[in-house]
Amino acid sequence: MRPSLRTAGRTGMVLFTTAAVLSSAGCFGSSDDPSRHGPTRAGKTPGAKRSIVWNTRPTSIASVGDSITRGFDACSVLSDCPEVSWSTGTDVQSLAQRLLPSATADAGTHAWNFAKTGAVVADLPGQIEAAAARKPKLITVMIGANDACRDSVDDMTSPEQFRTTFTSALTRLRRDLPKTQVYVASVPDLKRLWSEGRKNVFGRQIWKLGICPSMLKDSEDLDAASNDRRQRVSDRVTEYNKVLKDVCGRDVLCRYDPAVHKYRFTTHELSKWDWFHPSKAGQAQLADMAYRRITAAAP
């Protein structure tokens, strides 16, 4: 017997309501749940066509990371110099100077530096949380050197922990700012920096104060044990870069840049104070690399 229109209507309403409740409770599941899969592809919803496109001219920038982004030893010995930071500096042709109108870049109203000298990947979630409060259109990330630059190779952050922490930080950012773009620089080639910087007698003395001991201690020793130690550090940096590339590659609004690790810094581009961190000229080179990656039509 065919049900009446009124009965059919009530039945349909019950089914619709039940489906809505199950869906809101998560009973149907979702492949875009960030707690399950890490960073999501920004702006993506089930069944929806991806429409978000990378903006090559972001209008505000926040930087997170370590001493390189703070301009450490670029202006004076054992001191930060954020004015020459490759990302947000005002005394170098930084990303902020190239991408933002000069008035806003110089005033610091659209560019912020949350990096900290000595920071490791474990500090990244807190830095990103602080950066997210400014709601920048672009966040630049350079992290990992200090995870390899430990007192000994046994103290280096494991690749597994590095992945877990970096994924968590990017997932948190995506939850708070689904449309913010992210530029992730590769970790520099620390072994190359040792090879170039060890040519300077003064620099080798500064290294004895404790700069990157896993790579730089006993800098003139070329015995098998010393070479093996440096290679282990170099291999760990390679593993970190694989993590950065992989995690960033899962997010449509994240661009990983391998150019930083590949770049062969010259002595002119290294700090005249420690011959390891980038000088002002080195900071400008980092800005060049980032600018090319960020303004490219395709990653």
Q: What is the pLDDT of residues 181-214, one digit of tens each?
A: 999 999 999 999 999 999 989 888 889 988 999 9
- H-assigned helices in the chain: 5-24, 34-37, 95-99, 102-107, 124-132, 145-148, 159-176, 190-197, 201-207, 213-216, 224-249, 259-262, 280-295
* Percent of the residues in the chain that have a pLDDT greater than 90, as a whole number: 75
Find the mean pLDDT for residues 57-85: 97
| Predicted TM-score (pTM) of this structure | 0.83
Number of residues assigned to the chain: 299
Asked whether residue 33 is assigned to any structural domain, the reply reads no
Asked whether residue 36 is assigned to any structural domain, the reply reads no
* Distances in whole angstroms, Cα of residue 109 to Cα of each of 48, 64, 80, 138, 230: 35, 17, 21, 14, 42
Q: Determine the Cα–Cα distance for residues 194 and 92; give it in Å rounded to an integer.
A: 25
- CA-based R_g, the chain, Å: 24
- Contact call for residues 193 and 261 (beta carbons, < 8 A): no
Asked whether residue 25 is assigned to any structural domain, the reply reads no
Q: What is the CATH number of the domain that holds 171?
A: 3.40.50.1110
Total number of domains in the chain: 1
Asked whether residue 79 is assigned to any structural domain, the reply reads yes
- Contact call for residues 114 and 130 (beta carbons, < 8 A): yes
- Residue-wise pLDDT tens digits, 60-73: 999 999 999 999 99
Q: Determine the Cα–Cα distance for residues 66 and 79; give it in Å rounded to an integer.
A: 13
Asked whether residue 209 is assigned to any structural domain, the reply reads yes
* Domain residue limits at 284: 57-295
Question: Which of 57, 115, 54 has its CA nearest to residue 291?
Answer: 57
pLDDT at 55 (0 to 100): 96
Q: How confident is the model at residue 106 (pLDDT cuts 50, 70, 90)?
A: confident
Q: Amino acid identity, residue 230? A: R
- Contact call for residues 290 and 86 (beta carbons, < 8 A): yes
Task: Select the more confidently predicted residue: 145 or 297.
Answer: 145
Q: Which residue has the tokens 């870049």?
A: 105
Asked whether residue 47 is assigned to any structural domain, the reply reads no
Question: Which of 86, 84, 40 has its CA nearest to residue 61?
Answer: 86
Asked whether residue 133 is assigned to any structural domain, the reply reads yes
Asked whether residue 19 is assigned to any structural domain, the reply reads no
Pairing type for strands 111-113 and 138-142 reads unpaired
